[in-house]
Amino acid sequence: MEYPFIKCLHPVQVNTLKGITLVRCGKCPACESSIKSELQLRIQCEAKKHKHSYFVTLTYDDVHLPLFTPVVALESEMDDCDKVSPYWYDSDGFAQCDNVEVVFGPAYKGIPFVAATAVALSQNHGVSVPWGFNRKEAKDHGEGGVLVGASVAGKKVWIIDDVITAGTAIREVVTILKNAGATIAGVLVALDRQEKGQGELSAIQEVQKELEIPVHALITMKDLMNFLDAKGESEALAKMEAYRVKYGI
């Protein structure tokens, strides 16, 4: 099987509607080199198009990381609570967690996160964890309903998402999962924005208190601010500090 840079050493046969197709295995040295080259080229293209580029991955260690210098992506953007935020966060990396029977991604941003997590747990840790997600609207044909993927009935489920801004989406998906017979083991988010929820507590603190479930974040807004300070990004840091004074805890 030919590729732009290199040939896969162990191509895999896949049955499709058009017949048998060969796809790369993704594991051999040739594939690893090819994938690394593709990602490096993609990152270089993104870096030329945007002022800031931020790369987060769960499939590479420091030795095999594509060659580039990561920075935090900062742009003013209207968030789900109609607040103009001076930054936004985009990530796709989560670590392995014990005491988990199903991982679940809320529609829609949570879907690629949970899929990537399940793949990484299998490929990097040898752990096979069933995963699923929900639809925004119920399907009235085929398998029907709003839940897709692994059954959650009687299972301990970890919810994986990007952020908790107001907590509305998490509350909704927790209700859906409980109605389906699941036990919520906890929530994993990439970023804790450390913003006020409906009261003086942060949205994450409110979710933990109200739903009585643990919520863990990979990084916090304070971590991002420390990163900007270390990089000397004074203008972006000032905007985030002003934003935190107004909305933060």
**Range list for CATH 3.40.50.2020 in the chain:** 102-220
144 vs 119: which has the higher pLDDT: 119
94 vs 245: which has the higher pLDDT: 245
Share of the chain above pLDDT 90, in %: 25
What tokens does 186 get? 């906890």
pLDDT of 70 higher than 70:
no
Note the pLDDT of residue 52.
65
Q: Is the pTM of this model over 0.85?
A: no
Query: Is position 141 annotated as part of the catalytic site?
Result: yes
Note the pLDDT of residue 151.
93
Its CATH class, for the domain covering 102-220, is: alpha beta
Note the pLDDT of residue 74.
44
Instruction: Identify which of 240, 160, 230 has the alpha carbon closest to the alpha carbon of residue 193.
Output: 240
Give the range among 41-55, 102-116, 129-143 with minimum mean pLDDT: 41-55
Catalytic residue among 125, 139, 222, 231: 139
d(CA 185, CA 213): 7
Count Cα neighbours of 158 within 13 Å in the Cβ-side half-sphere: 24
Q: At 179, is the pLDDT very low, low, confident or very high (cuts 50, 70, 90)?
A: very high
Note the pLDDT of residue 183.
94
244: enclosing H helix or E strand: helix 234-247
pLDDT tens per residue, range 195-234: 888 888 888 999 999 999 999 888 888 888 998 899 899 9
Q: What is the mean pLDDT of residues 120-129?
A: 83
Query: Is position 139 annotated as part of the catalytic site?
Result: yes
Share of the chain above pLDDT 70, in %: 74
Note the pLDDT of residue 15.
75
31 vs 160: which has the higher pLDDT: 160
d(CA 170, CA 183): 14
Output phi, psi for 137, to 5 deg.
Answer: -130, 140
d(CA 30, CA 134): 36
Q: What is the mean pLDDT of residues 160-185?
A: 91
What single-letter DSSP state applies at residue 10? Answer: S
Note the pLDDT of residue 2.
40
pLDDT tens per residue, range 75-94: 444 444 455 555 444 433 33
Contact partners, residue 235, CB within 8 Å, separation at least 6: none
Catalytic residue among 18, 51, 136, 141: 141
